[in-house]
């Protein structure tokens, strides 16, 4: 038994060994960045030197109303954006799973947002929702033929918090939806079609097939989408930076603290808080998904 066990470990090492250089590089880079952020956030800038350790920067951040608002806006972004991407991705993946004409063409069209840089998408949305001459305002003011006039005055969409964050979320979801669709489509294609045929033969409705077959077998793909999309929502920068203006998220607040206000120590504190939020939310999602898996599988 011992030689077999040794051979098993040798096979595992042979499979894992090629990943070591990449793992060492990523881990080393992470340690360097986090160490620098911790050192910067726990130091107090003085006239001739920096006092370390010090919690002055942390105290300043906690007392800033803009930080609390940015944290709330980011949390709202994650809570609203992640389910929307998962549900839309699942709906599109289920539609593309069916056999119909032009399915390959539609699959290609859905991938178009990935080919458009996020900055270009944000600028296009900026132009569409511009004030007062954006296309949406022109449309609602009845300046286009075949569309009735619904407003008498243009709306400054990006000056209203709900609309500004909503437009940013719209751009983010549109930009990243193809990734969710690809992951969920791969999960659907991995399910044995005979399971659906057997369920149909036994008279199971689509709702029953969805609840008892699709969701349990697709749960690993759904989990991957939830984790990846929540990470992207937490650290989103481009769309709120271009479209939300003064309504900061944590990512845009870091940029403002570092570049606009010259408060690098406080920017480092916010960056560490953002990392902590990502770690906590990832652990929470993994716990919830594991609980759902156990309930579905009856473990």
Q: What are phi and psi of 51, to 5 degrees?
A: -85, 130
**Residue 269 within a domain:** yes
pLDDT at 198 (0 to 100): 82
pLDDT at 69 (0 to 100): 93
CATH at residue 275: 1.10.3720.10
**Residue 271 within a domain:** yes
pLDDT at 98 (0 to 100): 77
Indicate whether 278 pLDDT > 80. Answer: yes
**Residue 144 within a domain:** yes
Flag the least confident range among 93-102, 247-256, 279-288.
93-102
> pLDDT tens digits, residue range 74-100?
999 999 999 999 999 999 888 888 777
Indicate whether 226 pLDDT > 80. Answer: yes
Q: What is the mean pLDDT of residues 108-115?
A: 86
pLDDT at 299 (0 to 100): 63
Strand partners, 50: 45
**Residue 16 within a domain:** no
Residue 143 Cα distances to 128, 129, 130, 135, 155, angstroms: 14, 15, 15, 9, 14
Determine the Cα–Cα distance for residues 49 and 6; give it in Å rounded to an integer: 56
**Residue 38 within a domain:** no
Residue 101 is classified by DSSP as T
Determine the Cα–Cα distance for residues 12 and 22; give it in Å rounded to an integer: 17
**Residue 10 within a domain:** no
**Residue 214 within a domain:** yes
pLDDT at 297 (0 to 100): 67
Q: What is the mean pLDDT of residues 252-281?
A: 89
Q: What is the pTM of this model?
A: 0.82
> pLDDT tens digits, residue range 27-53?
888 888 888 888 888 877 665 556 677
Contacts of 87 (CB under 8 A, 6+ apart): none
Determine the Cα–Cα distance for residues 215 and 146; give it in Å rounded to an integer: 43
pLDDT at 75 (0 to 100): 93
pLDDT at 1 (0 to 100): 47
> pLDDT tens digits, residue range 194-211?
777 787 787 777 778 777
Question: How would residue 240 be classed by pLDDT, with cut points 50, 70 and 90?
Answer: very high
pLDDT at 168 (0 to 100): 92
pLDDT at 6 (0 to 100): 54
| Domain hosting residue 287, numbered range | 66-297
Work out the percent of the chain whose per-residue pLDDT is above 70.
Answer: 91
Q: What is the mean pLDDT of residues 260-284?
A: 89
State the Cα torsion 116-117-119-125 to the nearest 10°. Answer: 10
Determine the Cα–Cα distance for residues 285 and 227; give it in Å rounded to an integer: 7
Q: How many domains does the chain have?
A: 1
Strand ranges inside the chain, DSSP E = 44-45, 50-51
**Residue 182 within a domain:** yes
């Amino acid at each position: 038994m011992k030689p077999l066990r040794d051979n098993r470990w040798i096979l595992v090492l042979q499979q894992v060994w090629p990943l070591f250089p990449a793992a060492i590089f990523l881990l080393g880079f992470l340690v360097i960045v986090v160490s620098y952020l911790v050192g910067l956030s726990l130091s107090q800038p003085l006239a001739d030197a920096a006092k370390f350790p010090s919690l002055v920067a942390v105290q300043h951040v906690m007392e800033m109303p803009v930080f609390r608002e940015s944290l709330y806006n980011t949390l709202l972004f994650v809570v609203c954006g992640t389910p929307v991407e998962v549900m839309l991705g699942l709906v599109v993946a289920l539609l593309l799973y069916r056999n119909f004409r032009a399915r390959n063409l539609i699959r290609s069209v859905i991938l178009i947002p990935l080919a458009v840089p996020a900055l270009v998408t944000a600028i296009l949305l900026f132009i569409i929702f511009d004030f007062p001459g954006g296309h949406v305002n022109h449309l609602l003011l009845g300046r286009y033929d075949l569309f009735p006039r619904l407003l008498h005055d243009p709306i400054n969409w990006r000056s209203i918090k709900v609309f500004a964050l909503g437009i940013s979320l719209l751009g983010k979801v549109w930009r990243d939806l193809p990734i969710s669709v690809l992951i969920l489509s791969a999960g659907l294609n991995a399910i044995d079609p005979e399971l659906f045929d057997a369920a149909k033969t036994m008279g199971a409705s689509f709702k029953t097939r969805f609840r008892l077959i699709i969701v349990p077998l697709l749960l690993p793909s759904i989990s991957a989408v939830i984790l990846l999309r929540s990470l992207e929502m937490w650290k989103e920068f481009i769309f709120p930076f271009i479209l939300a203006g003064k309504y900061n998220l944590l990512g845009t607040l870091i940029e403002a603290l570092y570049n606009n206000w010259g408060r690098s120590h406080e920017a480092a504190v916010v960056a560490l808080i953002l990392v902590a939020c990502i770690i906590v939310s990832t652990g929470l999602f993994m716990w919830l998904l594991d609980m759902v898996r156990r309930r579905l599988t009856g473990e």
